[in-house]
Structure 1
Amino acid sequence: MRLAVGAATLTAAVVATATSASAYVLTDIQTGAGKCPANWVCLWSESNFVRGNPAGGYDFGAVGSDQNVSDMGKFVFESKLFRWKGMQDSASSVVNNTSSGICFYEHNNYGGLEFRIGPREQWASVPGWINDKISSFKYC
């Protein structure tokens, strides 16, 4: 009985950790601007808020966050069957579902070229000079 209670407590702690981590970043956003949650910033690998799925087992998909992200490349997932390289230099469309402006940057840690969008703005195609070059973003 004591072992079962200990295991249940451990399971609850893991779920709580996963829940708090998922409140920071979503990697399973589906196609469509309307799929970006309220108060989040979302990026898709293709224009028109579409998830990409090129050959070779890579799904560039989409990613969203409710906080600043200093390195889009940190969202890497690997398993025996699948490898997702994250959204480093892959975004082609963005949604800002927040009440603040958002600044997207060419380099990690908010460096290089800057692309600003206003509160609640949606860009089905980001400008060519920043397309597939976004590496970080923050509230601005």
Structure 2
Amino acid sequence: MDDYPLLDLFWTMLWFFLWIMWLFLLFKIVTDIFRDDEMSGWGKAGWLIFCVLLPFLGVLVYVIARGKGMSQRDVKQAKESEAAFQDYIRKTTGTSAGGKGGSADELARLAELKNKGALTDEEFQRAKAKVLS
């Protein structure tokens, strides 16, 4: 039972954890290489060859040389995704980019006017039918 002491188990788990972290970093770098629109095809091929043939050195050099750009590309992609999502929401709910003119907004304004007493029930129903048609 003492063939594999606890300290050896600890070191094995540590090395396994570091290997998994390195794999995640390698995949992150490969996706970053393909995501970079400013890099030429030859540049992308060079970095990929460098990271495949000399993986530990390639990953280390890439993070040192292009690490700041990686975070900027991540932020840019997050902003583009958020803008696309917001655009989708606007199209789905029927609101315009300024937030005015959509049927949901118009109905909310009509309900508010009715609650304030500015519109009668009959006027509200006619306006609501007009907005929904």
Structure with the higher fraction of residues in helix conformation: 2
Q: Same fold (TM over 0.5)?
A: no
Task: Give the structure, 1 or 2, with the largest relative contact order (CA under 8 Å, sep 6 or more).
Answer: 1
User: What TM-score comes out, normalization by structure 1 length?
Assistant: 0.28
TM-score by length of 2: 0.29
Larger radius of gyration: 2
